[in-house]
């Protein structure tokens, strides 16, 4: 269960910043080359973190399943490096989930534009 309290949110934001740097500069796996992190939700007890990601220039239909496999493969390394950078009693286990919110937003914008165009005619 994810919590909206201030500390969980701040820890999630810090984890997101650190993971973004690690993925960009430290992870050598080419499968995760274009990954962008959109959010990190941390459970109340800080035991698990769901990392929401997108892939630049791709939509959900174009995403290769190997991207998530590459992230899961690097999860141990990322968790260890987080432990070195963030001072927490225990570093949460990382769970990666594709975030399609940007794609859904674009679809809604297109539908609204189509409705406006239809009203003009």
> E-strand spans in the chain?
35-42, 48-55, 93-98
Residue 1 lies in a domain: no
Tally the C-alpha atoms within 13 A of residue 32's C-alpha that lie toward its C-beta. 25
Q: What is the domain-level CATH number for residue 61? A: 3.30.300.20
Phi, then psi, of 40 in degrees rounded to 5: -135, 120
**pTM for the full predicted model:** 0.80
**Which residue bears the tokens 């990601």?**
53
Alpha carbon of residue 60 to chain centroid: 14
Residue 48 lies in a domain: yes
Q: Per the structure, how many domains does the chain have?
A: 1
Per-residue pLDDT of the chain (121 residues; tens, 9 = 90+): 444 578 889 999 999 999 999 999 999 999 998 899 999 999 999 999 999 999 887 766 677 788 999 999 999 999 999 999 998 888 999 999 998 887 778 888 888 988 898 888 7
What domain range is 85 assigned to?
A: 6-120
Asked if 37 and 52 count as a contact pair (C-beta separation under 8 A), the reply is yes
Residue 32 lies in a domain: yes
């Amino acid at each position: 269960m994810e919590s909206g309290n201030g500390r969980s949110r701040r820890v999630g934001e810090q984890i997101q910043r650190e993971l973004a740097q690690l993925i960009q500069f430290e992870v050598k796996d080419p499968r995760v080359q274009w990954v962008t992190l959109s959010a990190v939700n941390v459970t109340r007890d800080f035991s698990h973190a769901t990392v929401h990601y997108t892939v630049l220039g791709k939509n959900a239909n174009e995403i290769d399943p190997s991207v998530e496999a590459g992230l899961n493969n690097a999860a141990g390394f990322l968790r260890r490096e987080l432990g070195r950078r963030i001072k927490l009693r225990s570093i949460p286990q990382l769970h990666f989930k594709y975030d399609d919110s940007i794609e859904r937003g674009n679809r809604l914008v297109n539908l609204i534009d189509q409705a406006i165009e239809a009203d003009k005619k």
